[in-house]
Amino acid sequence: MAPDILAEITGMLVEIVGDEYLLAEEVTMKTTFNEDLALESVEFVALAELLHHRYGAEVDLMGFLAEKDMDAILAMSVGELVQHIGRVTAASPSRVPAGGSPASAG
């Protein structure tokens, strides 16, 4: 399940940042949002929106970030988000099937 989620998050990041800045092969579970990807707050908001469309309200990126202190947010890795999504979607009966496509794909 984690590789599927990682691939979906990578696709979302490419959509947000643009593939000229982000090569899919470079995103791993250890990739950090701040240091490696240099994501800005507006890009986090865009990612939150894409995650909401893909996984539903249960995957609340802003709520997930609100539980962390500033140092933890700055050090957060893609893997932490993948694990969070995996936990939330595994516990949710309304989870979108792994083969489903994001509503915002296009």
Query: What's the burial of 94, exposed, middle or buried (CB within 10 Å: 0-12/13-18/19+)?
Result: exposed
pLDDT tens digits for 21-77? 666 568 899 999 999 888 888 999 999 999 999 999 999 999 999 999 999 999 999
pLDDT tens digits for 74-87? 999 999 999 999 99
pTM value is: 0.80
What does the alpha-carbon distance between residue 24 and residue 42 come to, in Å, rounded to a whole number? 21
77 DSSP β-pair partners? 32
Cβ neighbours, 10 Å, residue 45: 13
What does the alpha-carbon distance between residue 106 and residue 90 come to, in Å, rounded to a whole number? 26
